């Protein structure tokens, strides 16, 4: 008898590493795993909402059995995406406090972001 969990894990591994088409990209100093239809928030790109953007810093590209690894980037590879939203993240509070000296500084920060949806890998 085959363990159901083992069978599921084999299917998951098969999908993740054999059938999947995904890429690892770099933007804003961070790395992201993207597939077709992925929505992700990246650092501000300076592109208005609805415009198309090409993310050309591709570190790894997997297409079924084929794996391409960049050194550090893959030449002539780009991810096509569309800007879904431009905005600011939730407020982060910066509070500085020194005991016994009446020193209190209160400041807020909202990090700008661009949300993109991947159209082509």
Q: Looking at the predicted structure, is the pLDDT value of residue 91 above 70?
A: yes
Q: How far is CA 113 from CA 30, 42, 49, 76, 91, in A?
A: 13, 6, 12, 26, 13
- Tell me if the bond preceding 72 is cis, omega within 30° of 0: yes
Q: How far apart are CA 121 and CA 116, in angstroms?
A: 13
Q: Looking at the predicted structure, is the pLDDT value of residue 113 above 70?
A: yes
Query: What digits encode the pLDDT tens for the residues 38-55?
Result: 999 999 999 999 999 999
Q: Are 56 and 84 in contact (CB under 8 A)?
A: no
What confidence tier does 57 reach under pLDDT thresholds 50, 70, 90?
Answer: very high
Q: How far apart are CA 46 and CA 5, in angstroms?
A: 46
Q: How far apart are CA 62 and CA 84, in angstroms?
A: 25
Tell me what percent of the residues of the chain surpass a pLDDT of 70: 84
Q: How far apart are CA 35 and CA 68, in angstroms?
A: 15
DSSP track, 40-78? EEEE-----TT-EEEE--EEEEEETTEEEE-SSS-TT--
Q: Where are the domains of the chain?
A: 20-120
In the prediction, which pLDDT does 65 show?
Answer: 80
């Amino acid at each position: 008898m085959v363990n159901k969990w083992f069978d599921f894990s084999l299917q998951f591994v098969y999908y993740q590493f054999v059938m999947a088409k995904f890429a690892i990209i770099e933007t804003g100093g961070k790395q992201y795993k993207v597939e077709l239809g992925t929505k992700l928030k990246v650092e501000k790109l300076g592109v208005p909402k609805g415009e198309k953007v090409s993310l050309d810093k591709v570190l790894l590209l997997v297409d079924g059995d084929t794996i391409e690894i960049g050194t550090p980037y893959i030449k002539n590879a780009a991810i096509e995406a569309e800007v879904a939203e431009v905005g600011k993240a939730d407020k982060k509070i910066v509070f500085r406090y020194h005991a016994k000296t009446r020193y209190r500084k209160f400041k807020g920060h909202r990090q700008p972001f661009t949300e993109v949806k991947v159209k082509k890998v």
